[in-house]
C-alpha cells in the first residue's frame, strides 16, 4: 500500500542548527491520531484545555514545524551547556519540581527525565504508586498533583488517561509514552539523525517490525515535516489505517506500508526497529517470533539499502531476534547516541513547554 507523495523538498529544510535555524515548512494540519488498531476515531490535542502557563506535550503534531525546531534547538543548546561540567550556572529549573507518574515499567524514560531535570536545577518527585483511574478518578489526581508541582511527566498505558490528566491539569503534561504514541522518543531520534546526517527533511526512514506506538509517532511527525517514511511489517501487524490515512492526507511526506522486507528497505537512510513483542504482549512472543522471522535487521538487510545507512533502535533490544548483535554493535549503529539524546531532546521539550528561555 503506497500513500501520497509530498511535493518535492526545496532548500535544506530541517537541518542541524549548525547549518540552518528553522524548518522551511510551516503549514498547519489538523491535530489528529489514533489509539488501538481497532479504533478509527482520531485523538486531538486541540480538544484538551491548555495549562495555566505553557503547553502540554501530547502528540508531535500538536505543534508547528517551527515549534518542533525550537524544541530541538533548545535541547542541543542545553546539551552543550551540560557538557561543560565546570560551568554549573545553567539552572533554568532551579526552584521547580516535576512529578513523574508511571503505570508502565521504565528505565530510559525515568532516568533520562530525572537526570535532565536535576542537572538543570529542578527537583523530581516519583510517587510509589498512583492508581490512575482506580483508587480515585484521573481528573482528581491531575487537579491535586498539578497544584504541588510545576510540570508532570506521565508514562501510562491508556492514552485516554493521558488526555484526562492534561484536561484537568494546571501545569504542562509531558507524554513519556502511552500505548498509542511515544513522541519524546521520536524527538530524540530526529535530533540524532540531524547530528549524524546534518539534516532530516527529505531523508528516507524505514521502520521494520510491528506497527506500534513508535510507528504512530513517526506517522504524526510526517504531517509536519516532509520526509519519506516506510513501515515494513508482517501481514496483520500493519499500523492503524486511520493513522496512515492521516499522514497521507497531510500531503507533506511520502508514506508507504509494505509487507516486503526485500524491497521496503532499499534506499533507506535510516533503518529503525523495536522489539517484536512489547510490554503487555509477552504472551504472544512465541507466535510473533515465527511471524517476524523474515523481518530481522541483519547485515544482509543493511546491505540491501545500497546506502550508508544508520541503524536505530528505541531499546530495550532483544538480541538476536529483531536485530543481530553484529548490526547493533556495528559502526552503522547510533543506538547509544540515540538513547543519550532522549535526555537532551526532553530537556528541550521541557524548556519549550514550560516557556523557559
Catalytic residue among 16, 184, 231, 314: 314
62 DSSP assignment: G
355 Ramachandran zone, left/alpha/beta (phi>0; psi -120 to 50) = left
| Beta carbons within 8 Å of 181's beta carbon, 6+ residues apart | 33, 59, 60, 159, 175, 213, 216, 217, 220
d(CA 293, CA 153): 36
d(CA 353, CA 357): 11
**DSSP class per residue in 269-292:** SEEEE--SS-TT-GGGHHHHHHHT
Asked if residue 314 lies in contact with residue 252, where contact means CB atoms within 8 angstroms, the answer is no
Question: Inter-axis angle of helices 183-197 and 213-221, to 10 degrees?
Answer: 60
Extended beta strands in the chain, E state: 97-102, 123-125, 151-155, 173-177, 204-208, 228-232, 254-258, 270-273, 310-313
Asked about 314 being catalytic, the answer comes back as: yes
Q: What secondary structure, in 3-state letters, does 153-178 show?
A: EEECCCHHHHHHHHHHCCCCEEEEEC
Active-site residues, by number, are: 314
Amino acid at each position: 500500500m503506497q500513500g501520497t507523495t509530498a511535493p518535492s523538498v526545496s532548500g535544506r529544510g530541517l537541518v542541524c542548527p549548525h547549518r540552518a535555524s528553522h524548518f522551511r515548512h510551516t503549514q498547519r494540519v489538523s491535530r489528529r491520531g489514533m489509539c488501538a488498531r481497532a479504533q478509527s476515531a482520531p485523538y486531538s490535542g486541540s480538544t484538551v484545555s491548555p495549562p495555566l502557563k505553557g503547553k502540554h506535550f501530547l502528540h508531535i503534531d500538536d505543534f508547528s514545524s517551527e515549534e518542533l525546531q525550537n524544541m530541538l534547538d533548545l535541547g542541543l543548546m542545553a546539551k552543550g551547556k551540560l557538557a561543560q561540567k565546570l560551568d554549573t550556572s545553567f539552572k533554568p529549573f532551579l526552584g521547580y519540581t516535576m512529578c513523574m507518574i508511571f503505570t508502565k515499567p521504565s528505565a530510559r524514560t525515568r532516568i533520562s527525565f530525572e537526570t535532565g531535570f536535576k542537572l538543570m536545577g529542578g527537583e523530581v518527585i516519583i510517587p510509589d504508586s498512583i492508581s490512575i483511574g482506580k483508587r480515585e478518578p484521573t481528573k482528581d489526581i491531575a487537579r491535586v498533583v498539578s497544584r504541588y508541582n510545576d510540570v508532570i511527566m506521565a508514562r501510562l498505558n491508556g492514552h485516554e488517561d493521558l488526555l484526562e490528566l492534561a484536561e484537568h491539569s494546571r501545569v504542562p503534561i509531558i507524554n513519556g509514552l502511552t500505548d498509542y504514541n511515544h513522541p519524546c522518543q521520536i524527538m530524540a531520534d530526529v535530533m540524532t539523525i540531524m547530528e549524524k546526517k546534518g539534516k532530516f527533511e527529505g531523508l528516507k526512514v524505514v521502520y521494520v517490525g510491528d506497527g506500534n506506538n513508535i510507528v504512530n509517532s513517526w506517522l504524526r511527525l510526517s504531517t509536519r515535516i516532509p520526509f519519506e517514511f516506510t513501515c515494513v511489517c508482517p501481514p496483520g501487524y500493519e499500523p492503524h489505517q486511520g493513522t496512515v490515512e492521516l499522514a497521507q492526507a497531510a500531503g507533506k511526506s511520502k508514506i508507504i506500508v509494505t509487507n516486503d522486507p526485500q524491497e521496503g528497505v532499499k534506499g533507506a537512510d535510516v533503518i529503525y526497529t523495536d522489539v517484536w513483542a512489547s510490554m503487555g504482549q509477552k504472551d504472544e512472543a512465541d507466535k510473533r517470533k515465527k511471524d517476524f522471522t523474515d523481518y530481522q535487521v541483519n547485515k544482509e538487510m543493511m546491505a540491501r539499502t545500497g546506502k550508508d545507512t544508520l541503524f536505530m533502535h528505541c531499546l530495550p533490544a532483544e538480541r538476536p531476534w529483531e536485530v543481530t548483535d553484529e548490526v547493533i554493535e556495528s559502526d552503522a549503529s547510533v543506538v547509544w547516541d540515540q538513547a543519550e539524546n532522549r535526555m537532551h531532546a526532553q530537556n528541550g521539550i521541557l524548556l519549550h513547554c514550560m516557556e523557559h528561555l
